[in-house]
Structure 1
Amino acid sequence: MKSVLVVCIGNICRSPMGEALLAAALPQIAVSSAGTGALIGHPADDIAKALMSARGLDIEAHRARQITQLMCQQADLILTMDEGQRRHIESRYPLTRGKVFRIAESIKQDVPDPYRQGQDAFEHALQLIDAGAQAWAERIQKFK
């Protein structure tokens, strides 16, 4: 495994946090993120930046980008925030079938979108993303 793509909708809240957590846990793997309806060029949400900063992770330089077929081809694993995003990617990019999973699959949960919902919603989303990222990191490290 060489690359992981983390996907949400706008690519400013959940997927940048997931990208940062996975990149920290898997320094030998290229981890990136994108959105299915990205707010292209926008920085990560301020609450997401603050939560990551509190964990010693800097996402200040993040800029949202739209998912593309090339990104899907290059990724060995694609992690979405919910089942709807997984289905959307697999239907739009059929070549991804078999390598798209929810980030919180290990706890059988979707990660709700905290966009414009305040600190508590972000903290809840981050808990789920963190649990999922840890489970995926452990799984990936077994196959090094």
Structure 2
Amino acid sequence: MFDKVLIVCIGNICRSPTAEYLLRDRLRGRATTVGSAGLAALEGKPIDPLAGALLAEHGIDASAHRARQLDGDAILAADLILVMQRAHLASLARYSPHAVGRAFLLGKWQGDREVPDPYRKDRDAFERAYRLIEAGVAAWQQHL
């Protein structure tokens, strides 16, 4: 059983908070806690407006989100760490050997599919990322 799930991307303002809020919504009523952080977080920044709008269109309010930097304590506390790209797995392994074995791609159950970064791109890029994140969250939900 995974009691604490940590979702990681780069800036912690687009992909990881989208996945965090989607997974938290899907796991509502369960004891699992879900958080997110960034490898190079834009610390204190709110969710990107396009990412927040897409969540809101699906009935999820992420306005409380504030980006936070990934640190060793967050890694140690997590039972499961989900990342968006293979490069994030490599960064985690370099940063903390404790992450190895607990870190997987969000798209693991879709053939290790990556979620490309929509940051500073158009709405289509955000919609594509949202669909990939939603599929990854749905697949992980079955394993949590």
Same fold (TM over 0.5): yes
> Which 4+ residue blocks in structure 1 deviate beyond 2 angstroms?
none
Deviation at 1:25, TM superposition (A): 1.2
2:92 maps to what in 1?
Answer: 89
Q: What aligned pairs does 1:29-108 form with structure 2 within 5 A after superposition? A: 29-107=32-110, 108=112
* Structure 1 spans left out of the alignment, 5+ residues: none
TM-score, structure 2 as length reference: 0.95
TM-score of the pair, normalised by structure 1? 0.95
The 2-side partners of 1:89 and 1:26 are apart by 25
CA distance in 2, matches of 1:73, 1:99: 10
The superposition leaves residues 62-94 of structure 1 with CA deviations (integer Å, 9 ceiling, x where unpaired) of: 000000000000010000000000111122110
Superposition RMSD on alpha carbons, in Å?
Answer: 0.7
C-alpha displacement at 1:26, in angstroms?
A: 1.4
Alignment partner of 1:21: what SS?
helix
Q: Distance in 1 between matches of 2:64 and 2:141?
A: 23
- Unmatched 5+ stretches in structure 2: none
User: How far does the alpha carbon of each residue in 1:86-116 deviate from its partner, in whole angstroms, 9 at most, with x for none?
Assistant: 1111221101110000101111211000001
What amino acid is aligned across from residue 103 of structure 2 in structure 1?
V
Identity %: 44
Match of 2:142, SS state, is helix
Partner residue, 1:26: 27
Matched, 1:134 2:134: no
